[in-house]
């Protein structure tokens, strides 16, 4: 099949690369000339494990193409995927200006039937707006051309996107057209051989499915963080509680790890957008509001624990930070807990020495050069002359530490673990004050 993908961000590039890898002819369209030129030269604009070799191989084989020419992209394929960003608007709703702009672009250039596929995460009713935009432009052109609009939400986890696309649990498709169903079956046939993964439904249900899935996962995280905060105050160990409830198959072990809050490009934006959608139809989604409120509060926990350890005296301190990305195996720092921590430390007069295996350039892009931020090349370098260590991201290389050695590196024996990587008894046996999430903290302040 000949397939066009508008957008070469996280969703668009993974979608285009994986469809090309299955044998389709794919062209990716983007307005960013530098990004497109880079892709033509083999420069991948995002970090995602396994993506680079797929892009390079399929581009070299002539199945994956890149262009800034929208007319070329529209002419290329019957299937037109819209995979551009939907950033949050000021009120928390999803901003559809890029999605609707692509819809107009397709309508301006199309010369035959097109299937327009919403791959971006969009509110319920977006397909109707896309259909109206296309119809209006075609009417202005006086062009009597047929088209279909389909919803095909993505379910890609950053850090595991290739696995999710090629071996995902389901492929959700919203359409009311038998022709669209047949063409989408052809599109996804290479990834639907082992068992039936295609789930067809009406368009609005498909649009809501994406938001409901992310809201459910975010709810589990916020619920566990709420219970963790309660465990601290009751003298219970949340890790033991997690094992106890996770053993119930109705609950399971996925997404019940307590921590310093969720971040990234999906959960915060999608929970807010769904709550805003509820308001627009006259319904107050109290649970969604609570999920977001708990998460916002949780991002401040690391700073609060540091402040507790130093009895509020953080000015002039140097704090080592391990992990800047919002999760492992990505360089994405959108809504990352590390950002809340660092900005609070700077406001309190402290310095930050930080390391992340992948997010260093992204940190420089966000914060630039500043005297109170030092980005180091290796994990251990962050500890040099540091008063305390804070762990924000559970990268594998942070999971095993010689605690006696760690005690010698730090000027003050303070470790704040935002991901519960270590056993408290082992850390404290080395003479360290250990602050975790939902576990009994070392309460004695550093003098």
Summarised one tens digit per residue, pLDDT across range 324-364 is 999 999 999 999 999 999 999 999 999 999 999 999 999 99
Beta sheet of 171-174, edge-to-edge order: 64-67, 25-29, 2-6, 79-82, 114-118, 147-151, 171-174, 198-201
Ramachandran bin of 92, using left for φ above 0, alpha for ψ from -120 to 50, beta for the remaining angles: left
Residues in Cβ contact with 425 at an 8 Å cutoff, skipping those fewer than 6 apart: none
Is 18 noted as a catalytic residue in this protein? no
For residue 90, what pLDDT is reported? 75
Contacts of 97 (CB under 8 A, 6+ apart): none
> Is residue 385 over pLDDT 60?
yes
d(Cα 231, Cα 225) in Å, to the nearest integer? 10
Q: How far apart are CA 441 and CA 319, in angstroms?
A: 19
Res. 104: pLDDT tops 80: yes
The one catalytic residue in 18, 150, 266, 392 is: 266
Listed residue (288, 298, 382) closest to 340, CA to CA: 298
> Over pLDDT 90: what percentage of the chain?
94
User: Does 169 score more than 60 pLDDT?
Assistant: yes
pLDDT-derived band at 444 (thresholds 50, 70, 90) equals low
Report whether pLDDT(44) > 90: yes
pLDDT surpassing 80 at residue 1: yes
8 A C-beta contact, residue 417 and residue 305: no
In the predicted model, is pLDDT for residue 446 greater than 70? no
Quick: pLDDT tens for 241-283.
999 999 999 999 999 999 999 999 899 999 999 999 999 999 9
Least reliable range by pLDDT among 48-57, 202-211, 267-276, 433-442 = 433-442
Q: Say what the pLDDT of residue 294 is.
A: 98
Closest C-alpha to 102, from 4, 174, 205, 24: 4
Q: Radius of gyration (Cα) for the chain, nearest Å?
A: 24
pLDDT at 193: 85
With 0.85 as the threshold, say if the pTM is over it: yes
Closest C-alpha among 11, 315, 291, 31 to residue 153? 11
Rounded to 5°, the CA angle 436-327-438 comes to 20
Dump pLDDT digits (tens) for 281-318: 999 999 999 999 999 999 999 999 999 999 999 999 99
For 311-347, the DSSP string reads: TT--TT-EEEEE--SSSTT----TT-HHHHHHHHHHH
Nearest CA among 122, 139, 112, 92 for reference residue 7: 122
Residue 445 confidence class, pLDDT cut points 50, 70, 90: very low
Residue 443: the pLDDT is 53
The pLDDT of residue 238: 97
List beta partners, residue 28. 5, 66
Q: What is the mean pLDDT of residues 88-100?
A: 86
Q: Where is 361: in which H helix or E strand?
A: helix 360-367
């Amino acid at each position: 099949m000949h397939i066009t993908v508008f957008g070469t961000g996280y969703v668009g590039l993974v979608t285009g690369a994986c469809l090309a890898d299955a044998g389709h002819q794919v062209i990716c369209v983007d307005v960013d000339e530098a990004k497109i030129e880079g892709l033509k030269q083999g420069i991948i604009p995002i970090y995602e494990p396994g993506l680079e070799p797929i892009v390079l191989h399929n581009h070299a084989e002539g199945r994956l193409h890149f262009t800034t020419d929208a007319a070329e992209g529209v002419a290329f394929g019957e299937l037109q995927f819209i995979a551009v960003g939907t950033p949050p608007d000021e009120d928390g709703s999803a901003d559809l200006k890029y999605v609707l702009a692509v819809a107009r672009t397709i309508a301006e250039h199309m010369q035959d039937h097109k299937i327009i596929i919403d791959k971006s995460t969009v509110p319920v009713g977006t397909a109707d707006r896309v259909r109206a935009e296309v119809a209006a432009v075609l009417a202005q052109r006086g062009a009597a051309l047929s088209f279909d609009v389909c919803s095909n939400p993505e379910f890609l986890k950053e850090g595991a996107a290739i696995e999710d696309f090629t071996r995902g649990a389901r492929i959700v498709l919203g359409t009311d057209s038998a022709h669209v169903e047949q063409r989408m079956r052809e599109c996804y046939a290479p990834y639907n051989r082992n068992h039936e993964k295609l789930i067809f439904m009406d368009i609005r249900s498909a649009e809501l499915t994406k938001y409901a899935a992310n809201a459910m996962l975010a709810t589990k995280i916020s619920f566990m963080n709420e219970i963790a905060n309660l465990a601290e105050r009751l003298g219970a160990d949340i890790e033991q509680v997690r094992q106890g409830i996770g053993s119930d198959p109705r609950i399971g072990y996925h997404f019940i790890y307590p921590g310093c809050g969720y971040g990234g490009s999906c959960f915060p934006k999608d929970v807010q957008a769904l709550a805003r959608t509820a308001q627009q139809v006259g319904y107050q989604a109290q649970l969604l509001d609570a999920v977001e409120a708990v998460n916002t509060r949780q991002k401040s926990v690391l700073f609060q624990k540091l402040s507790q350890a130093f009895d509020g005296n953080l000015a002039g301190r140097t704090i080592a930070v391990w992990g800047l990305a919002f999760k492992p195996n990505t360089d994405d720092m959108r809504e990352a807990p590390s950002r809340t921590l660092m900005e609070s430390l700077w406001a309190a007069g402290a310095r930050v020495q930080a390391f992340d295996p992948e997010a260093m350039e992204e940190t420089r892009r966000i914060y630039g050069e500043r005297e109170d931020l030092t980005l180091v090349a290796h994990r251990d370098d962050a500890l040099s002359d540091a008063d305390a260590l804070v762990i924000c991201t559970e990268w594998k290389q942070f999971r095993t530490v010689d605690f006696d050695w760690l005690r010698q590196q730090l000027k003050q024996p303070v470790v704040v673990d935002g991901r519960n990587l270590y056993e408290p008894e082992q850390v404290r046996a080395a003479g360290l004050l250990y602050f975790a999430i939902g576990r009994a903290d070392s309460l004695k302040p550093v003098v």
